[in-house]
Amino acid sequence: MSDSRWCGRAASVVASLIIAPARRTPRRWAATISNMRCAKFWLLASALTLLPCTALLGQPYQGPIIDAHGHLGASFDWKVMVEGMDSNNVTQRTVMARYYPGGPRDLPGSDEDALRLAERYPGKFFPLVGMQQPLLTGSHNWQSPEREVERLIEEAERKLASGKFFGIGEFIVRHWSYSSGPHAEQENPIYSTFMRRMSAIAARFDVPMVVHMEGYPVLVDDFSRLLAEYPNVRFVWAHSCGRSKASVIRGMLARHPNLFCDLAGMTNVGTTGYGIGWPRMEQFTALIEQDGVLFPDIKALYEEFPNRFMLGMDVAHASGNALNNYSRRVNRFRDLLGQLKPETAKKFAETNAIRVFRLSSAVTR
């Protein structure tokens, strides 16, 4: 629903509250109006009907925000990234190297790039061991890892042992294509040899795992098995838990205290992004908002589980770091947070990310 339609509906409600009693009891209403000094009363009533929607929905959240779902490629302009964060009071950002190719102006990144970025801007960027790896395309390497994948697992252990990485991800389990190429459409098993081995490593180093998995019911069931088998691992199910419906998310969060959700890319802005139903929707998918207004079932879910959600701008390609694009996503999240209880909004904005990714210990590393 657009802002104008929301305002119009609100105006109608206010007007009905004023006019309806007058129709029911005209004499008593007329006397009341006279006693309240009619002119001032109607000026106030008119002002209420003309309030902007932001006033009706709550003021945008003004506090600092942590971008808990970021990416990095070799073509990313670091200065532009920092400008976008500083301009929007985004204080920290996790970065996951995107090893997938993205074209001549969007070159793939690496964990080494992520480390250099973190060293250049200490306390601002926090690398995760990147799992958007071309060699992980194909379910055979998840069920029976070949030699290259075995090396990847060993390298992940060494990197985590260095103490310079704050998690692992993004594991691309089920991904819908929005471009061409061999790695665009992914269909891999969540309950697999590879994921179980990585889960054991995450448990040993006490780091979270970020998972991209569209919410197919059979995959949700398999994910539930993995969550139950590794209760000491913090799993972050990206993109509003695979864009699942509120009832599915509620059930998973209730059953698994080690599951968390990020809202990366879920803002209903722009011409691309999961928050507008791009690149496609299925029967089991859902949005979280429309035109800056949280859907009621989603808002109720957030207030029921205030400790389990985080924000993310999900800039996966170099062009996405443009200030107008980054600001648009941050500002929409601020509008959405303004509709929650202040204590819930603060947890979504930063507290949960600090706890899940152990960012509070970063200054001592």
DSSP secondary structure string for all residues of 158-216: HHHHTT----EEEEEEEE--SS-STTSSEE--SSSHHHHHHHHHHHHHT--EEEEE---
Residue 201 has which token pair? 């490593």
Q: Domain of 39?
A: 3-56
Statement to judge: residues 126 and 34 lie in one domain: no
Residue 75 amino acid letter: S
CATH number assigned to the domain comprising residue 322: 3.20.20.140
List the pLDDT tens digit at each of the 365 positions of the chain.
444 444 443 443 333 333 344 334 445 444 444 444 444 433 343 444 444 444 457 899 999 999 999 999 999 999 999 999 999 999 999 999 999 998 899 999 999 999 999 999 999 999 999 999 999 999 999 999 999 999 999 999 999 999 999 999 999 999 998 877 777 889 999 999 999 999 999 999 999 999 999 999 999 999 999 999 999 999 999 999 999 999 999 999 999 999 999 999 999 999 989 999 999 999 999 999 999 999 999 999 999 999 999 999 999 999 999 999 999 999 999 999 999 999 999 999 999 999 999 998 664 44
Q: Which residues contact 318 (CB under 8 A, 6 or more apart)?
A: 73, 75, 76, 77, 102, 105, 106
Last residue in a domain, options 21, 37, 56: 56
Query: Angle of helix 323-337 relative to helix 78-87, nearest 10 degrees?
Result: 30
Statement to judge: residues 328 and 195 lie in one domain: yes
Give residue 345's pLDDT.
Answer: 98
The residue behind tokens 């790039």 is 113
Statement to judge: residues 135 and 281 lie in one domain: yes
Statement to judge: residues 311 and 347 lie in one domain: yes
Give residue 185's pLDDT.
Answer: 86
Statement to judge: residues 13 and 78 lie in one domain: no
Q: Which residues contact 260 (CB under 8 A, 6 or more apart)?
A: 208, 234, 235, 236, 237, 308, 309, 310, 352, 356
Statement to judge: residues 336 and 349 lie in one domain: yes
Q: What pTM did the predictor assign?
A: 0.85
Beta-carbon-side half-sphere exposure of residue 301 (alpha carbons within 13 Å): 24
Statement to judge: residues 52 and 72 lie in one domain: no
Structural domain count of the chain: 2
Statement to judge: residues 186 and 173 lie in one domain: yes
Q: Rounded to the nearest 10 degrees, how much is the dihedral formed by the CA atoms of 336, 210, 206, 257?
A: 60
Last residue in a domain, options 41, 56, 71: 56
- CB neighbourhood size of 229 (10 A): 12
Statement to judge: residues 205 and 290 lie in one domain: yes
Statement to judge: residues 143 and 192 lie in one domain: yes
Statement to judge: residues 65 and 153 lie in one domain: yes
Statement to judge: residues 34 and 88 lie in one domain: no
